[in-house]
Amino acid sequence: MNWVEFSSDAFIVAFFLYCFAFLFYVVAIAGKKWSNRDPERHLKRWGRIAFTVSTLGLAAHLLFFFSRWYGSGQIPTSNMYEFMTFLGMAIMLAFTVIYAIYRNPLLGMFTLPLTIIIVAYASVFPQEVQPLIPALNSIWLKIHVTTAALGEAFFAVGFAAGLMYLLRVTDFDSETKTPGGRSGGLSLRCMCSWS
């Protein structure tokens, strides 16, 4: 069995699952406003479906990562294609951790596009397994690249949460564009209402 080819198939599956998960998060958020009967129930149901699909995408992405590692004999972070795919996977790991804590489907609607863009961008680089140059054949490559990508992933989820918050509390009808349309600070109601 060619593990590298299998990993490419798992990567494509992960990409499409991320796309579907994003659409389900959009349905969860937009449908809450359109649902006549019980908007909170609609949000929870579609949020659960979206999180399940994004978790399946993460599982396929992990399958890609470990099967490519097994097939190539080296950790798949040595070139730009492998690093970008690892960064996309790390963003989904960070998102899964944060979502498990806060259970906010709106975060998925802002985080999944980052992952989709990064995974799509990774596909422009050559996908062949390349042997490591002697200078990179060290344990420090594994430590440095994985910790850097994990740090960037949590910053990416923080960026998505910050963008989500700014769009949520800014009054776009006001000329000053201050939160809530006032010239002062944020109200407690704006800061605490996440649903």
Chain segment 91-136, per-residue pLDDT in tens: 999 999 999 999 889 999 999 999 999 999 999 999 988 887 787 7
The pLDDT of 10-30, averaged and rounded, is 95
Asked whether the predicted pLDDT for residue 18 surpasses 90, the reply is: yes
Render 99-143 in DSSP notation, one character per residue: HHHH--HHHHHHHHHHHHHHHHHHTTS--S--PPPGGG-SHHHHH
**What would the pLDDT profile of 34-59 be if each residue is shown by its tens digit?**
766 777 888 889 999 999 999 999 99
Structure tokens given for 107: 């975060």
- C-alpha distance from residue 172 to each of 152, 176, 178, 185, 189 (Å): 30, 9, 8, 16, 18
Position 73 scores a pLDDT of 86
Q: What is the pLDDT of residue 36?
A: 67
Give pLDDT tens digits for 136-188. Answer: 778 888 899 899 999 999 999 999 999 988 888 876 777 765 665 444 444 43
Note the pTM of the prediction, 2 decimals: 0.83
- What is the pLDDT confidence band of residue 194, given thresholds at 50, 70 and 90? very low
pLDDT at 193: 45
pLDDT at 79 over 60: yes
DSSP 5-45: HHHHHHHHHHHHHHHHHHHHHHHHHHHHHH-SS-HHHHHHH
Question: In the predicted model, what is the mean pLDDT of residues 71-89?
Answer: 91
